[in-house]
Amino acid sequence: MAYQILQIALLIFGFGFVIFWHELGHFLAARWAGVRVEQFAVGMGQAIFSYRRGLGLKLGSSRKEYEDRTAEWFKTTAVAPKGPDGEYTEYQREQASKALGLGETEYRLSWIPLGGYVKPTGQDDLRPNAQVLEEDPHSYNAAPIGKRMVIISAGVIMNIILAAMLFMALFLIGYNVPPAVVGGVQPDSPAQRAGLMAGDRILYYDNTFQHDFNKIRLNVALSRDNVPVDMLVERIDGKQEQLRIVPARADDDPHSFVALGVVAPFAPRGPKEADYLDEAAQSPELVDPESLLIRPGDEILKINGKPLLMDTEAQRRQAIATVDGEVQRSSGKPVVLSVRNQSGQSREVAMQPHLLPAFKDTEYSFAGMLPRVQIDSLQENSSARGKLRPGDIVLRVINADAHVDQPAASRTFLNLISSASQRSEKIDLVVLRGTEEVTIKGLATDVKLESRQRGLGVAPGIDELHAVAAEITPDSPAGRAKIPAGATIVSVDGQPVSTWLDVAEALRNASADRAIAVVARTDQAEQSYPMTLTASELATFQQARYVLTAGRYAAFGELIEPRKTANPLVAARWGVVETRDFILQFYLTLQRMFSGDVSYKNMMGPVGIVYAGSKFAFKGTDWLIWFLAMISANLAVVNFLPIPIVDGGQFVFLIIEKIMGKPLSPKAQAVAQYVGLALLLSVFLLVTYQDIARFF
């Protein structure tokens, strides 16, 4: 807990420092240009405390005391005020402050920890070229256009410098990140079609070197849907091969990011996260017993008798390939892991492989036979906690207008819950728990889900270990063969089966366009149904892949290889390249949003940034530095967009003034600035609403 509090404190300090650094750029540039700065503020709103040379540290603002002290000096010198409404100008106060030994700049920390500002005399964000008194040579608008351009752009430049410096520091201390290695590929995915294999190291994607797995995710996400990309990979035997891959969206949302269907690299050891162990101690009924087979600190030495070595980079990649190979060759049968715990004690664990979801994440279908729903996990706020358990198999769903006597497949199950949720109704479930039927009544369906919708708060999986067809898809091999819903599959093509894993293997070995006998048992009797698969339907099973999981958790921990160098020049070069890539990718993201390729729903506002930042902070100091560097680079882009009211918009006004030889008319400037302000406020409200809807 103390570590987490420290990381959150560092996150808050980091945000403040990024803002401070931006404003410091404006401040230093203004001082260089000879422009007076009245205030240098971190945060918005009223000051918590302030500092001014000659007055010291004050609660609140020092402005009133500064005005009073200079006014007293004016009385002794009989200087008449030259400002409007009988006020002294800032130029006059500058003369008084020099005589009194007071600083002309107030440094302040304000209450609202968002943004910050530097206030040069004569600059008004809503009137960037407001007329000033000619006798004030230290006013912003008295400075040449070139110097004003430097002042305006200095904050953005400082953010770019800060991002590069943070990345440089990150690579000197070590960035703990998964390497650019393939841990596995999803069935029917771009990665599988391109020929990627577990253990491959991705060297270049779209002619860009890939330092780590996160770079792959980011670069792929910004690729275009169904546009081929060149990829250079290194196989585990050291040979390099040029591949052509076609990234695609994993769902039907035309605005979602594209992907390759590549699984992150893993290490043959227990996961770091011990949350499920704590949950097991507090609520053992909510934990799948399979989750406890591999624990944090465990080291997996062998799989099916084959050693897994981790001393070198080549051995780590070979270990990934060995695990994947043994799991795929298991044909869905348990694999044996030789495990050593932190105390040095060894044991053997038999783990059941599971079918890896297809790339498109569609409903599991075995030639049109849909498995029953099995409860995988429950959200912390689920109304079913303490009632449903992981492993429960849903037999019936009962709501106000439907009594489904047959087991429901996952899509039907979710639709029934969604229908009840829209009417704010509760549902009853009949589940199979072991060999016993259990009825659970009065489950509320108004739980907030990660998808921002309402539901039951459970993650439905499939009942892999019982070959019971909950539903039959009409236009499918099983539908054409008229296999009845609710039937238990006994054999396929003469091979006895008891699980859907057995069914998948039997179908994998079948021949296309040849009738195979599927024996199914109902309450009445067993009956054989001739079923024929086309070549494309058969290919689905030939592409099927397995994965090892421990309940709802990954069986293995994440593979981490620190990206680190002791050479400051190399770290500086990496930092510059990383900053450049983030800036270009941010512009590309904006372009894709305007073209409709990426949804605006992927944007985050202050709430989302803080939420995401807290997640990164908990991952370690290196990830916190990475996040703040990314924020600094993105802030540079946002601030230099050609939108009135931000730095980029003011820079555009200066360009226009340079071209025309005079500034835009006050009316034109005011209209443009208010439009820009309205635009920014609208975007702010939109992204804040999305953040609240997404996270709360």
Exposure of 659 in the CB half-sphere (CA atoms within 13 A): 7
DSSP string, 39-70: EEEEEEEEEEEEEETTTEEEES-SHHHHHHHH
273-287, 339-353, 541-555, range with the lowest pLDDT: 273-287
DSSP string, 307-367: E---SSHHHHHHHHHHHHHHHHHTTTS-EEEEEE-TTS-EEEEEE-EEEPPPTT-----BT
Round to whole Å and give the CA distance between 582 and 632: 10
Round to whole Å and give the CA distance between 85 and 69: 19
User: Tens digit of pLDDT for each residue in 663-689?
Assistant: 877 777 777 777 777 776 676 666 565
| Closest listed residue to residue 413, CA positions, set 385, 435, 384 | 384
Mean pLDDT for 26-38 is 90
- The confidence score (pLDDT) of residue 236 equals 93
Residue 85 corresponds to which amino acid? D
- The confidence score (pLDDT) of residue 688 equals 60
Interacting residues of 671 by C-beta distance below 8 A, sequence separation 6+:
none
- The confidence score (pLDDT) of residue 125 equals 57
Q: Cβ distance 492 to 503 under 8 Å? A: yes
Round to whole Å and give the CA distance between 471 and 406: 8
Give yes or no on whether 373-462 and 469-544 have one common fold: yes
Q: Cβ distance 464 to 450 under 8 Å? A: no
User: Tens digit of pLDDT for each residue in 569-618?
Assistant: 999 999 998 898 888 877 777 777 776 666 666 665 555 555 665 666 66
pLDDT above 70 (res 556): yes
- The confidence score (pLDDT) of residue 114 equals 64
Residue 189 corresponds to which amino acid? S
Task: Classify the C-alpha dihedral 406-411-413-416 as positive or negative.
Answer: negative
Reduced to 3 states, what is the DSSP secondary structure of residue 110? strand
Round to whole Å and give the CA distance between 152 and 140: 11
| Residue where the block lists tokens 């070069």 | 573
Question: Across all residues in the chain, what is the average pLDDT?
Answer: 83
Q: What residue spans define the domains of the chain?
A: 1-35+121-174+567-696, 37-119, 267-356+554-558, 373-462, 469-544
- The confidence score (pLDDT) of residue 289 equals 61
User: Tens digit of pLDDT for each residue in 243-274?
Assistant: 999 998 877 666 677 889 998 999 988 876 65
111-115, 119-123, 174-178, 265-269, range with the lowest pLDDT: 111-115
Q: Cβ distance 520 to 469 under 8 Å? A: yes
Mean pLDDT for 611-639 is 78
Structure tokens at 381: 């706020």
- The confidence score (pLDDT) of residue 398 equals 81
Q: How many CB atoms lie within 10 A of CB 660?
A: 9
- The confidence score (pLDDT) of residue 133 equals 46
Q: Tell me, which fold does domain 469-544 have in CATH?
A: Pdz3 Domain (2.30.42)
Mean pLDDT for 134-150 is 83
Round to whole Å and give the CA distance between 242 and 238: 13
Structure tokens at 69: 């002290």
Give 176's strand partners: 562
Give 307's strand partners: 302
Mean pLDDT for 445-456 is 73
The 8-class DSSP code of residue 578 comes to H
Mean pLDDT for 547-574 is 84
Interacting residues of 526 by C-beta distance below 8 A, sequence separation 6+:
490, 519, 520
Reduced to 3 states, what is the DSSP secondary structure of residue 428? strand
- The confidence score (pLDDT) of residue 664 equals 79
- The confidence score (pLDDT) of residue 185 equals 92
Q: What is the CA radius of gyration of the chain?
A: 32
Round to whole Å and give the CA distance between 29 and 26: 5
Domain boundaries 267-356+554-558, CATH class:
mainly beta
pLDDT above 70 (res 541): yes
Structure tokens at 54: 């000659």
Round to whole Å and give the CA distance between 641 and 25: 17
Reduced to 3 states, what is the DSSP secondary structure of residue 141? helix
Q: What percent of the chain has pLDDT over 70?
A: 84
How many residues comprise the chain? Answer: 696
Round to whole Å and give the CA distance between 41 and 118: 6
| Residue where the block lists tokens 């916190």 | 624
Round to whole Å and give the CA distance between 121 and 107: 15
Mean pLDDT for 619-633 is 85
Structure tokens at 120: 């040069």
Round to whole Å and give the CA distance between 479 and 370: 11
| Closest listed residue to residue 187, CA positions, set 317, 369, 354 | 354
Round to whole Å and give the CA distance between 591 and 257: 14
Q: Cβ distance 645 to 677 under 8 Å? A: yes
Task: Classify the C-alpha dihedral 258-261-267-273 as positive or negative.
Answer: positive
- The confidence score (pLDDT) of residue 134 equals 47
Q: What percent of the chain has pLDDT over 90?
A: 27
Round to whole Å and give the CA distance between 667 and 23: 28
Give 58's strand partners: 50
User: Tens digit of pLDDT for each residue in 294-321?
Assistant: 888 889 999 999 999 989 999 999 999 9
Round to whole Å and give the CA distance between 613 and 109: 22
Structure tokens at 260: 């390759």
- The answer to whether domain 373-462 has CATH 1.10.287.3510 is no
